Amino acid sequence: MPSPALTRTFSPWSMGGLRLPHRVVVGSMHTGLEMSDDEGAGLAAFYRERIEGGAALIITGGLAVGPAGRGGPDYAVLTDPVAGARLAAAVLAVHEAGGFVCAQLFHAGRYALLDGLTDPDGSPSEAVAPSAVPWSAARGAVPRALTGGEAWSIVAEFAAAAATAKELGFDAVEVMASEGYLINQFCSPVTNLRDDEWGGDAERRSRFALEVVTAVRTAVGGLPISVRLSGDDLMPGGPDPVEYAELAVRLARAGADAVSVGIGWHESRVPTVQATVPHGAWLAATERIAAALADAQLPTAVIASNRFTDLRDVELVLKRGTVQAVALARPFLADPRLIERSRAGDFAAVNTCIGCDQACIDRSLVFAPVSCLVNPRAGREAEHPIVITRSRSDMAVVGGGPTGMAAALDLARRGHGVTLFESSPELGGQFSLAARIPGKEDYAASARAARLELGALGATLRLGVRAVVDDLERFDGVVVASGVRPRTIDVPGADLPHVIDYETAIIDGVAQGPVVIVGGGGIGVDVATLLVEPSDARERAARFGPAFDLPWPADLVEAGRRDWANRAPRRSPLPGKDVTVLRRTGKFAAGVGITTRWVVLGALRAAGVTMISGVGYRAITPHGVLIETSEGETRLLPAATVVVCAGQEPYAPLASELERRGIRFECAGGARDARGVDAARATSEGLAAARRLAL
């Protein structure tokens, strides 16, 4: 029986003729596994684990309908026989596990990055679009405008791909018409400058979408069709979102059984999926489309998405009666057992998606293997299966931060004995620090889930205990994951009492008065964010202007505060003018992911924070920081507090003694090498260390 808190979530619903047991959909995610040279084993294992964890319906990552539709080199073309064989293996795995899978029919249009790729005839691939309008990430490449006849050819490609999906055994198809891809490009006057049958006014701009859905319906017969439709492009000069609500009605009449609502384009300057975006922030855009379909008395199901992580929030949305289902994507990277745990009411045990984008979206945009910061096995399930060992080892893990938690969890899941030593009274390490930063509160959930799962698996947690070598001699192996310590700076006056490190600033706060932050990398901008941002998610979001002026349901807003009700209240934020961030060389927020960096810096600039680069540090005085600017000017920046964010040093005092005594160990994460370390690398190294020590 499902948790009483989720009665609506765990009620059945229908997408066309497909009857589904609950209302949570695994949303489309590009993984790159579709093109892995493993005959589909990686994708099959990825999907199977999520179905076995309780998922019912999975939407694939975008499957290109033709070579020009590929987003890049690791995108599969659905009609390619080699890709088809791999996809068939994934479909079989889903069905064997008792689930359903929907093929997303995809064409990137001007978002295609095809440098060095060729079409089947050997000619160089080129991006095509409704009009020759480039975008910044295309590195200056201008897409070729399609002729009217070529547009009809792509409609035919969608139909052929849909027919192929049906032949491969897919249970449904989804037409990608959102997030700025080709169909969405036809719908927008930003990218559709035509004046012919495919553009010139709203009706002609929407024709391509309608022709595609009509052709797909003819190709698949009664197979369910979903359309991933934009709720709001968030682009200057884009169509009024009401046009998309009207288009949804026309698409439903053309044969769509469901409309899944997406938000924003890749090039939009309004954040949509980052950690700073409040949970469920875009519900109003979805409900606008749902209302239009309801007014037209159409039975089309509406699927909400974007920044849902907790099924209790999903339940609140579903009980409003406006949408039929909710799609979660990245949360299924973080925890393949999300459904199973939530169904049982074990909400605290869910390894929550923290919205960081580092190992998922950021990697997909550069065609690197997709995984998950808080679950480094994601996308590597075939490579690192969970097989209960027949030869149990007793393993120690020193350090309960991201690296240590990843190592301990992997060892315990495979049946090894685990004793984890952590010198602080709680798990989390750098995650605990991050959770104090506005917009990163969800980081605490990962540590909470790890503690619960390790306890359930029988691991011993020695919290508040600093391990010594004598404690470790009896173990078969040791993972040293003792992390990092803040780096000091060699500047006159760095030992003055008003100079503190970032850990002290984050935990204890700063004195009243102006603050100078020495170091403008990821940690420096985090500290600045802590000092100037309000703790309330809606107030923070308001910095991004009218795009966030949405009629959020009051109950959903309150639910966003649920896990933080017992936290000590933060001080009122400092005025941005009282915070200055300094950097010697390089970009501010260097090391922060490409989909997040612009959001963080934009919020700081909106708050009035001063950021100065190209500085030399002359001295720290009782009154402030004496710097030399890039123009050679000497300035004293007033400071009641100076926060040093100059990087980190590895902290692994046990490693040399373990080696001397001949105790097997692996050093991982920041304890191994603090240069350029981030949490994604740390958790991945924790998993790898656990696998090397105990197979």
What pLDDT does 565 receive?
41
Helix (H) or strand (E) holding 218: helix 207-220
Beta strands in 242-387 (DSSP E): 258-263, 301-304, 325-328
Q: Which residues are the active-site residues?
A: 181
What lies within 8 Å, CB to CB, of 144 at 6+ separation is 126, 127, 128, 129, 132
pLDDT digits (tens, 9 = 90+) for 574-613: 999 999 999 999 999 998 999 999 999 998 998 999 999 9
Domain ranges of the chain: 4-364, 394-486+649-693, 499-552+572-646
What residues contact 323, with CB distance under 8 A and at least 6 apart? Answer: 286, 287, 290, 302, 303, 304, 317
**In this predicted structure, what is the pLDDT of residue 570?**
60
Q: How far apart are CA 67 and CA 125, in angstroms?
A: 7
Fold type of domain 394-486+649-693: Rossmann fold (3.40.50)
438 vs 130: CA distance, rounded Å:
41
Look up tokens 């509406």; give the residue. 302
Q: Residue 123 has what DSSP assignment?
A: P
> What's the pLDDT tens digit per position in 208-234?
999 999 999 999 999 999 999 999 999
Q: How confident is the model at residue 567 (pLDDT cuts 50, 70, 90)?
A: very low
Could you tell me the fold of the domain covering 4-364? Answer: TIM Barrel (3.20.20)
pLDDT higher than 90, residue 61: yes
**Could you give the percent of the chain with pLDDT greater than 90?**
85
State residue 560's pLDDT score.
Answer: 52
Tokens of 49: 């684990």
Q: Is the domain covering 499-552+572-646 a CATH 3.50.50.60 domain?
A: yes
CA atoms of 152 and 221, how far apart (whole Å): 20
pLDDT band at 137 (very low <50, low <70, confident <90, very high): confident
